[in-house]
Amino acid sequence: MSEYLALFMFLSVCLVLLSGYPVAFSLAGTALLFAFIGSSTGYFDSAFLEALPNRLYGIMENETLIAVPLFVFMGIMLERSKVAEGLLETMSSLFGSMRGGLGISVTLVGMLLAASTGIIGATVVTMGLLALPTMLRRGYDPALSAGTICASGTLGQIIPPSIVLVLLGDVLSSAYQQAQLDMGIFSPETVSVGDLFAGALLPGLMLVGLYLLYILGMAWIKPDCMPSPSESEHHEIKKGLALRVLKVLLPPLLLIVSVLGSIMAGLATPTEAASVGAMGAILLAIISGEFSYSRLLEVMRNTTRVTSMVFLIFIGASIFSLVFRGFGGDDIVAELLNNLPGGVFTAMFAVMLLMFLLGFILDFIEITFVVVPIVGPILLAMGLDPVWLGVMIAINLQTSFLTPPFGFALFYLRGVAPKEVTTMHIYKGVMPFIGIQLIGLCLIAYWPGIATWLPNQIYG
């Protein structure tokens, strides 16, 4: 009976989340309600809740999680410094003379912003305000334009330094240690955020390449959906281009290299590199002339708001997973996955399918904090590589930003898109990119080395 209560609790929290109630309170409140019901009926041992203070203290003293507010600060400061505007204008000048050049520019700017800001909402909104009207004015297909902007904006989910990878790395590290303890290994190895950063770099660039191939293919197959610029526009685009490219691209590239390079070279932990990135973002804001005391206060307030939300969800998820285990929910999930025909392949496929479907209705943070702690130890105990598993989950969660009806990137763009771009245009435009991400997921599943080669080269 307790196992059924665990599954009913999981379904209940999904329904509460769909009602729009705050995530952290939904997770903690539902868990505590079911703990009370289980304790009253004799199906739950309230001694499980005695472990809660230790869990919360563990979150508070976790050095890895200090990277979260620092990376959030870095992203918001860069977004306020109008780095995106300069990058988009310069890239449009660089590729604007090509057929499909604006689509290529948006994708490359999305990649650069992913590696510097990593804030998906800000990226999609900024490119929606700046690039979408230009694309429509040039005669680009509305659906293709909207899809390109949404998909490019979500690259911050997988290309490091990514807040999602920091959170996922911490959750997977705990899951990996638990899996090894369950297998009788009492000196467990660890997987770090740096490992995930290195593992996600090539898959992220691969996705960029697949996006570009799709845009170039559409420009060749359906040239009417991406017209070439006129001769006068082409001449205007090329004026003083080399100097503008150098001036606009060099500062963010230096910041990306300093943050990622210090992690990859082993010179700094992700937390230390995040502090470098935060200071670098302030320097870029000063150089660009966009820095002021009031702007600093605004960035700090927004950083505090986002960080508080993330950590409250983390605490709520800790309470939820503790009660779920108290009901024996992890045992029933382990039994279910281990008894599937086809072994580890079918178990992995079932988990990926579940996360993909949950992505239609739940946020990536909810899936990371609720689902991964439950299924992670089970899959890792089957012998899966933790870095490969983390990258697969990250790309799957990236897709949740694009899947209707609740994909966040769709809402972000809908809020700033011109009236002639309908919701159906946005839904239709993202469908090919969802397919591309699923193709990327299949490629990494077939060739795990795409995710594991670079970490092995760097960290052995």
Averaged confidence pLDDT in the chain: 84
Averaged pLDDT, 393-421: 84
More confident residue, 235 or 86: 86
Would you give the DSSP letter of residue 228?
A: P
Placement of tokens 């150089």 in the chain: 287
Alpha helices in 222-292 (DSSP H): 231-237, 241-264, 270-288
Got the DSSP string for 350-381? Answer: HHHHHHHHHTTTS-HHHHHHHTHHHHHHHHHH
More confident residue, 411 or 158: 158
Q: How many whole angstroms from its chain centre is CA 102?
A: 24
Dist CA 300 CA 282 (whole Å):
12
Judged against a pLDDT cut of 90, whether residue 38 lies above it is answered with: no
Q: What is the pLDDT of residues 79-127, one digit of tens each?
A: 777 777 777 777 777 776 778 888 898 898 888 888 876 677 777 887 8
Averaged pLDDT, 194-201: 90
Q: How many whole angstroms from its chain centre is CA 119?
A: 9
Averaged pLDDT, 287-316: 87
Closest CA to 72 of 173, 151, 161: 161
Dist CA 35 CA 288 (whole Å):
54
* Per-residue confidence (pLDDT) for residue 238, from 0 to 100: 58
* Per-residue confidence (pLDDT) for residue 236, from 0 to 100: 53
Alpha helices in 61-192 (DSSP H): 67-80, 83-95, 101-114, 120-137, 142-153, 163-182
Structure tokens at 12: 């209940």
Of the spans 61-75, 258-272, 421-435, which averages the highest pLDDT?
Answer: 421-435
* Per-residue confidence (pLDDT) for residue 234, from 0 to 100: 53
Closest CA to 275 of 41, 455, 77, 59: 77
410, 120 Cβ separation under 8 angstroms? no
Give the lowest-confidence range in 64-73, 194-203, 233-242, 263-272. Answer: 233-242
Helices and strands, counts by H and E, the chain: 22, 0
Binning pLDDT at 50, 70 and 90, where does residue 213 land? very high
Structure tokens at 362: 């739940």
Helix pair 101-114, 83-95: axis angle to 10 deg: 150
* Per-residue confidence (pLDDT) for residue 237, from 0 to 100: 54
- Extents of the domains making up the chain: 2-459
Judged against a pLDDT cut of 70, whether residue 159 lies above it is answered with: yes
Neighbours of 350 (CB within 10 A): 15
Binning pLDDT at 50, 70 and 90, where does residue 452 land? very high
For 333-342, the CB contacts below 8 A with 24+ separation are 333/374, 333/375, 333/378, 334/378, 337/375, 337/378, 337/379, 338/378, 338/382
Binning pLDDT at 50, 70 and 90, where does residue 348 land? very high
* Per-residue confidence (pLDDT) for residue 122, from 0 to 100: 72
* Per-residue confidence (pLDDT) for residue 157, from 0 to 100: 85
175, 377 Cβ separation under 8 angstroms? yes
325, 319 Cβ separation under 8 angstroms? no
Judged against a pLDDT cut of 60, whether residue 233 lies above it is answered with: no
Closest CA to 300 of 76, 6, 140: 76
List all residues 6 or more positions away from 370 whose beta carbon is below 8 Å from its beta carbon.
Answer: 10, 13, 27, 317, 320, 321
Widest CA span of the chain, in angstroms?
79
* Per-residue confidence (pLDDT) for residue 432, from 0 to 100: 94
* Per-residue confidence (pLDDT) for residue 205, from 0 to 100: 94
Binning pLDDT at 50, 70 and 90, where does residue 1 land? low
Enter the pTM of the model.
Answer: 0.85
147, 436 Cβ separation under 8 angstroms? no
* Per-residue confidence (pLDDT) for residue 460, from 0 to 100: 67
C-alpha distances out from residue 354 to 156, 359, 375, Å: 23, 8, 11
Judged against a pLDDT cut of 60, whether residue 235 lies above it is answered with: no
Share of the chain above pLDDT 90, in %: 18
Judged against a pLDDT cut of 70, whether residue 240 lies above it is answered with: no
Dist CA 149 CA 401 (whole Å):
12
Judged against a pLDDT cut of 70, whether residue 30 lies above it is answered with: yes
